[in-house]
Every structure is written in structure tokens, then in C-alpha cells.
């Protein structure tokens, strides 16, 4: 069974199908609250006594190797992504097909090694593209087609490094670049990075964001210090919202309202201090992995249950009285108002994306009370092939039978047949890094989710703004007014 939980967790793990079925009753692990002990300690014991699904997936077909994913078909190694088909190695990406190695890519097809794309077709090695097709190794394009190594263009076609070509000139120049080789790609990327440093960049990727601060905020209002939010309102210190309203300090709350200090809350209402709630949960606090639960406190794996505390059923009157007493008890112990302590996480720190966004050493994690996994999945030194051809045309079909070694972390990895077919069809050099290192390379292209105050670099403009571009980054940063006035970029 594939699971996102380590065997060291000692949790009662069952397959996703069993968790979604009626084969188990979460109330069988119910217990009385002990007012002589802290709440979190009792909750931790309940977690170990209650069945928990091995993966958080639903309504998917032939996509067993996925997590935090819904309505995917024929997908492999997909996380935090919904409504995809025939897609490999994707994260935080929705509505894609026939794509590989993508992060924060939406409504696209035939894209590879891309970050932050919307409505794009057959784009490779690019970031921050919208409604663009057949673009290679480019940045910040809108409504463009057949562009290579370009930065900041709008409504352009047949451009290379921001220079205009005819169709015939473009095709000849493209062929000479040898982009089917690692050597050709590296040569082009060096030129693109140099061009990127010369082009002005808008201080944020926000679009139609009224009274908002943060980055990648779209069609939203009154969102403060938020990131990756769309169609949201009145949110603060929040990440990954879609149709989210009145949220504070959350990470992922699509279609939810009145959510406080919670993680992965889907289409639910009035949730506080919760982790993982499927649609239909309302008025739930301090719970883990609920589905359609209502008016419950401190529960695990509830399924449409109501008036429960520590997975024990109560009447409405009993529930309300006991909940009040428990909150008062938690206030005395200093627990109420705090999210679950790190030591009660079902995962070790370095098993989670916390290590990607806020990396720490084993010693630092221990000082915070967290756990560390010394034996992460993976093998080393088992490779059967060391020299990977530079040119994808020289890669034999037998490569899928070989074991390769990542050039960065040395972890072994394999190329599956669907991958090889994709690389051959798209003329993409075979990856020399493992999927994890490729994911981290894409993530490194994004600015960190923290804001600093800066002044527009278009002298003598005095406009100041909050941005994720630190002073150490090489890009030229403009306010929105100056950025739009450059003309060549047009309005986005």
C-alpha cells in the first residue's frame, strides 16, 4: 500500500478506499475527556487509535501515486492538484493534460518544466506565462506564441531573446540552437538570464487585487499578506485560497468561509485549528481528517458525525456544556488558541513541504520539539547507467529499464515509458536530476513568501510597495504604474 505516512508513525493506516467506505466506525475509538490531562496529549492518543487514510485522494482513476488530489485520471506523482489527466510529476496544478514536471500550472496542455502558467499550450522551461503557446525557456509572457528565451513580451510571435524574426528566420535559428540537447538549453538559458536582469519586473504578480498585499493574488479584495489566492475576500496571513472568505492564518481553504489557523479545509464553514477537512464540515475545531462533520471538537476521521468530542457521541446539550468546559480547561493549560504543537504532527518535519519553504537542520527541529526522519525513501548507488546522452534523439528505448543517479543529490531514479515518449515527442533532453530535485529547482524560481518594503527602481519615481523581491535578487523592480508605462509589455 502506498502511504504518505512513515511506518515509524505507528498510526492505524488503512487504504483510501477503506477510509471512504463504511467499513469502519470512527466512534469506536471514542473516549471521555480527562480534565486532569492536557488536551493535545489526549488527542494524540486518539489519533493513534483511529483509522486514517493512507493518502488523501478522491474520485480519481489510475492515479494511485498521488496525494491531496481529486478527480485525476492516469496521473503519476501528482500532489495538491485536481482535475488533471495524463500528467506526471505535478504539484499545485489544476486542469492540465499531457504535461510533466509542472508547478502552479493551470488549464494547460503539453507543458514541461514550467512554473506559474495559466492557459498555456506546449510551453517548456518557462515561468509566469498566460495564454501563450509554443514558448520555450521564457519569463513573463502574455498572449505570445513561438517565443524562445524571451522576457516581458505581450502579444508577440516568432521572437528570440526579445528580437523579432520572420517565421522562416525563427525556424532556422531555432534549429541551430539544438534545444533537444542539454548543451543547447544551457547556452540559451545563460542568455535568457542575462536578458531577465535587464528587463523591468512588476513588484508582484497580483491581478485585479483590490487592497491586497502579497503575491499571486487574483480577482480578490482585502487580502493582507496572502499568497496564491484567487477569488478571495477578507483574508489575512493566508496561502492557497480559492473562493475563500474571512480566513486568518490558513494554508489551503478552497471554497471555505470563516476559517482560522487551519490547513487543507475544503468547502467548509466556521473551522478553527483543524487539519484536513473534506467538503461539508461545519463548526468543527481541533480535528483531523473530517468528512462532512458538524459541531465537533477534538475528533479524528469523522464521517458526517455531529456533536462529537474525542470521537464520542453526545447530545446537543451535552456537547455544548462539555465543549465549554474543555475550552476553559485548555485556556488554563495554555493550549486553547494554539495550533497543534509540532511534536504532535503525524509527519516528521523533513517529510513535509515545511522543509522546502523553511528548511531546518535535525538539531533545529529537535529544539522545536519536532521529529526528524533519518531514513527517507530512496536508494543510492544502485545505478546501472552513468552516461546519459546529451541529445534526446540518441536516447534508446531501453533507458526505461535502467536505474539512473541524480547529478545533484545522487538519489537513484528511473524514467518511465510515458515520460520517455513525452520527451521524444517534445524534443526535450532527458532529465539528469531526480524528480525531487527537479521539483525543488522549480520551487526555487519563485520568490519566497515574505514581504519587504521597497521603492520603485524607475528613477525618479518615489512609489513604495511591499514585494517578495528581496534587494539581493538581481531583477529591476517597478511599481505597477511605471511597469505599465514601459509600453512594450502592455497591460496584464
In the chain, the largest separation of any two C-alpha atoms, in whole Å, equals: 80
Alpha carbon distance 220, 229 (integer Å):
7
Q: Does residue 490 register a pLDDT over 90?
A: no
276 occurs within a structural domain:
no
Which tens digits make up the pLDDT trace of 292-317? 999 999 999 999 999 999 999 999 99
78 occurs within a structural domain:
no
Say how many domains are in the chain. Answer: 1
Q: Which residue has the higher pLDDT, 136 or 484?
A: 136
Relative orientation angle of helices 182-198 and 167-177, to the nearest 10 degrees: 120
CATH assignment of the domain containing 415: 3.30.160
- pTM of the prediction? 0.95
Which tens digits make up the pLDDT trace of 13-35? 999 999 999 889 999 999 999 99
Which tens digits make up the pLDDT trace of 346-380? 999 999 999 999 999 999 999 999 999 999 999 99
204 occurs within a structural domain:
no
Q: Does residue 285 register a pLDDT over 60?
A: yes
Q: Does residue 487 register a pLDDT over 70?
A: no
Q: What is the mean pLDDT of the chain?
A: 96
436 occurs within a structural domain:
yes
Instruction: Tell me the CA distances in angstroms from 171 to 78, 135, 160, 481, one per residue in order.
Output: 34, 13, 10, 36
Helices vs. strands in the chain: H and E counts, helices first: 10, 34
User: Which residues fall within 8 angstroms of residue 235, CB to CB, at 6 or more apart?
Assistant: 220, 222, 223, 224, 226, 229, 241, 244, 245, 246, 247, 248, 250
Which tens digits make up the pLDDT trace of 190-221? 999 999 999 999 999 999 999 999 999 999 99
Alpha carbon distance 286, 266 (integer Å):
16
For 432, the domain range is 392-445
283 occurs within a structural domain:
no
Pair 11, 52: CB distance under 8 Å: yes
400 occurs within a structural domain:
yes
Centre a 10 Å sphere on the Cβ of residue 24 and count the other Cβ atoms it contains.
16
User: Which residues fall within 8 angstroms of residue 383, CB to CB, at 6 or more apart?
Assistant: 402, 403, 404, 405, 412
426 occurs within a structural domain:
yes
70 occurs within a structural domain:
no
Amino acid at each position: 500500500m502506498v502511504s504518505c505516512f512513515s511506518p515509524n508513525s505507528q498510526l492505524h493506516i488503512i487504504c483510501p478506499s477503506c477510509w471512504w467506505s463504511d467499513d469502519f466506525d470512527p466512534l469506536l475509538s471514542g473516549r471521555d475527556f480527562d480534565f486532569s490531562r492536557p488536551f493535545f496529549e489526549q488527542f494524540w492518543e486518539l489519533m493513534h487509535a483511529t483509522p486514517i487514510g493512507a493518502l488523501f485522494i478522491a474520485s480519481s482513476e489510475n492515479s494511485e501515486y498521488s496525494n491531496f488530489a481529486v478527480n485525476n485520471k492516469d496521473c503519476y506523482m501528482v500532489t495538491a492538484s485536481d482535475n488533471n489527466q495524463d500528467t506526471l510529476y505535478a504539484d499545485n496544478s489544476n486542469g492540465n493534460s499531457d504535461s510533466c514536471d509542472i508547478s502552479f500550472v493551470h488549464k494547460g496542455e503539453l507543458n514541461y518544466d514550467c512554473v506559474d502558467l495559466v492557459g498555456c499550450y506546449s510551453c517548456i522551461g518557462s515561468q509566469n506565462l498566460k495564454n501563450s503557446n509554443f514558448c520555450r525557456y521564457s519569463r513573463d509572457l502574455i498572449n505570445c506564441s513561438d517565443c524562445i528565451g524571451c522576457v516581458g513580451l505581450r502579444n508577440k510571435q516568432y521572437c528570440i531573446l526579445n528580437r523579432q524574426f520572420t517565421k522562416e528566420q525563427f525556424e532556422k535559428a531555432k534549429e541551430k540552437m539544438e534545444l533537444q540537447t542539454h548543451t543547447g538549453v544551457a547556452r540559451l538559458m545563460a542568455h535568457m538570464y542575462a536578458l531577465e536582469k535587464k528587463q523591468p519586473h512588476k513588484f508582484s504578480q497580483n491581478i485585479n487585487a483590490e487592497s491586497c498585499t502579497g503575491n499571486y493574488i487574483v480577482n480578490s479584495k482585502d487580502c493582507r499578506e496572502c499568497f496564491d489566492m484567487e477569488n478571495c475576500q477578507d483574508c489575512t496571513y493566508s496561502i492557497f485560497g480559492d473562493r475563500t472568505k474571512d480566513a486568518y492564518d490558513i494554508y489551503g481553504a478552497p471554497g471555505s468561509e470563516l476559517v482560522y489557523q487551519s490547513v487543507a479545509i475544503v468547502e467548509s464553514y466556521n473551522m478553527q485549528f483543524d487539519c484536513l477537512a473534506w467538503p461539508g464540515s461545519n463548526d468543527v475545531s481541533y480535528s483531523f481528517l473530517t468528512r462532512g462533520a458538524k459541531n465537533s471538537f477534538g475528533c479524528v476521521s469523522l464521517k458526517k458525525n455531529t456533536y462529537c468530542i474525542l470521537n464520542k457521541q453526545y447530545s446537543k446539550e451535552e456537547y455544548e456544556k462539555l465543549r465549554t468546559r474543555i475550552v476553559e480547561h485548555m485556556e488554563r493549560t495554555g493550549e486553547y488558541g494554539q495550533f497543534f504543537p509540532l511534536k504532535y504532527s503525524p509527519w516528521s518535519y523533513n517529510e513535509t513541504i515545511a522543509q522546502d519553504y523553511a528548511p531546518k537542520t535535525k538539531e533545529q527541529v529537535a529544539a522545536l520539539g519536532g521529529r526528524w526522519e533519518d531514513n527517507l525513501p530512496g536508494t543510492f548507488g544502485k545505478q546501472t547507467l552513468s552516461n546519459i546522452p546529451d541529445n534526446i534523439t540518441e536516447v534508446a528505448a531501453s533507458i526505461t529499464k535502467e536505474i539512473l543517479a541524480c547529478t545533484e543529490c545522487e538519489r537513484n531514479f528511473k524514467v518511465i515509458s510515458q515520460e520517455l515518449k513525452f520527451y521524444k515527442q517534445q524534443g526535450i533532453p532527458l532529465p539528469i536530476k531526480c524528480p525531487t530535485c527537479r521539483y525543488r529547482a522549480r520551487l526555487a524560481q519563485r520568490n519566497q513568501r515574505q514581504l519587504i518594503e521597497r521603492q520603485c527602481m524607475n528613477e525618479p519615481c518615489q512609489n513604495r510597495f511591499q514585494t517578495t523581491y528581496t534587494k539581493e535578487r538581481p531583477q529591476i523592480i517597478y511599481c505597477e504604474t511605471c511597469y505599465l508605462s514601459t509600453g512594450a509589455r502592455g497591460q496584464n
